[in-house]
Amino acid sequence: MLKTATTVTILALLLWWTPAGAHARRSIFAARHMRSPLPGYTNTEKAFRWMNTQLPDTACVAASWQYGSQLNVLGGVKTIIDQDHYIQHWIHLFFRHVFCAPSNTEALEFLKTHQATHLMLRTQDLFQAAKTYSAVGSDAHGDREFECIPLQMNTYENGTPFFVPVDTELPLTHIDFGTREENETLITATAKMKTGETVEIPYTVFVGKQTRLLPQKSIPPENGGILLIFNAQKQFHSGYYIPQVGWNSLAVRLYFRGDLPDIFVPVYPVGENASVSEFKIYEIHYPPDIQSDPKYLKTGFPEMDETLQLR
């Protein structure tokens, strides 16, 4: 009894008495003040709360690896890759065949194989993490690697704006916007290449809370594309140049270009803020010709894949 009491007393002193360390006090302070709880009362928490209340418990939301456990616990949904599944190769497969996918069929077959019902994308995935995600999804030669490269707005002497990429290693020097003589309502973006050539490139413009996909002819994306963001007062906020491999990726096509709305149907958020939300959630409507393919279940361990007959 005396030994037990002595042990408890010593432990209490170590935990709470400042001269002895006060480890418990320090731990509580660190938990409360030095690190905020995740996701906290943020747009992330709102998105997860919407899933928990609006999606059935059979839903499977495909998303980046870092959101996996939060989707499970807070969103109440299944996911494909998370911190608990321990199949690291699936992280590569997700980023390669969904995030970076140049082919609709490729992405849909992967998602159907994993029984995904929804896809979640976040602004951060494109602006801050695209280079990392696309590198994870690339082969040894970086075949699908890209990033959204910031643009700076400058003006000519006559006040006409032009946009310059911050990365000087790109094959272009600047981008001009203008109109065609034969159709002044048709706004075009032209890039001045370092070779001296001038080429027309596709673009998407966000103005305030609404997305404007400005009228334009079909332009081959071989030189990439431009994303411009203006506030409600039509003042320039930010701009990005996205190289061809990124401009053609599923993530960019869905999030910024509004492609495939009948297949990847936007369901969150709703209302006037849907175009510029930090999160976007799509319900997947699979075309009848899309089939599962066991190659998208490979673990990265040949012996295990052979045992599971994943060829």
- Predicted pLDDT of residue 36: 56
- Predicted pLDDT of residue 301: 82
**Interval 131-181: pLDDT, tens:** 999 999 999 999 999 999 999 999 999 888 899 999 988 999 999 987 655
Regions of the chain with pLDDT less than 50? 20-21, 34, 215
From the list 50, 42, 222, the residue with the least C-alpha distance to 123 is 42
Q: What contacts 260, CB < 8 A, 6 or more positions away?
A: 104, 253, 254
From the list 111, 118, 107, the residue with the least C-alpha distance to 252 is 107
**For residue 84, what are the CA distances in angstroms to 67, 88, 185, 257?**
11, 10, 53, 33
Q: What contacts 120, CB < 8 A, 6 or more positions away?
A: 47, 61, 62, 63, 67, 71, 279, 280, 281, 282
What string of H, E and C letters represents the secondary structure of 127-173? HCCHHHHHHHCCCCCCCCCCCCEEEEEEECCCCCEEEEECCCCCCEE
- Predicted pLDDT of residue 28: 53
**For residue 269, what are the CA distances in angstroms to 49, 51, 251?**
12, 11, 17
- Predicted pLDDT of residue 295: 93
Q: How far is CA 185 from the centre of its chain?
A: 33
- Predicted pLDDT of residue 217: 61
| Sequence ranges of the domains in the chain | 2-33, 45-145+245-311, 147-242
Side-chain half-sphere exposure of 56, counting CA atoms within 13 A: 5
45-145+245-311 is classed CATH 3.40.50.12610: yes
| pTM of the predicted protein model | 0.83
Judge if the upstream peptide bond of residue 302 is cis by omega within 30 degrees of 0.
no
Judge if the upstream peptide bond of residue 261 is cis by omega within 30 degrees of 0.
no
**Which amino acid appears at position 264 of this protein?**
F
From the list 170, 102, 97, the residue with the least C-alpha distance to 136 is 97
